[in-house]
Amino acid sequence: MADKKISALTALTAANVAGGDLLAVVDVSATETKKISASDVAEYVSATSAVTNAVVSQSQNDQFILSAAIFTS
Average pLDDT over residues 33-62: 72
Is residue 33 one of the residues assigned to a domain? yes
* pLDDT of 69 above 60: no
Is residue 14 one of the residues assigned to a domain? yes
Is the pTM higher than 0.85? The answer reads no
Is residue 1 one of the residues assigned to a domain? no
- Which residue, among 58, 36, 55, has the nearest Cα to 46 in the 3D structure? 55
More confident residue, 32 or 14: 32
Three-class secondary structure of residue 41 per DSSP: helix
Helix (H) or strand (E) holding 3: none
Is residue 51 one of the residues assigned to a domain? yes
- Provide the domain limits for residue 25: 6-71
Is residue 35 one of the residues assigned to a domain? yes
Is residue 60 one of the residues assigned to a domain? yes
16: left (phi over 0), alpha (psi -120 to 50) or beta: alpha
The total number of structural domains in the chain stands at 1
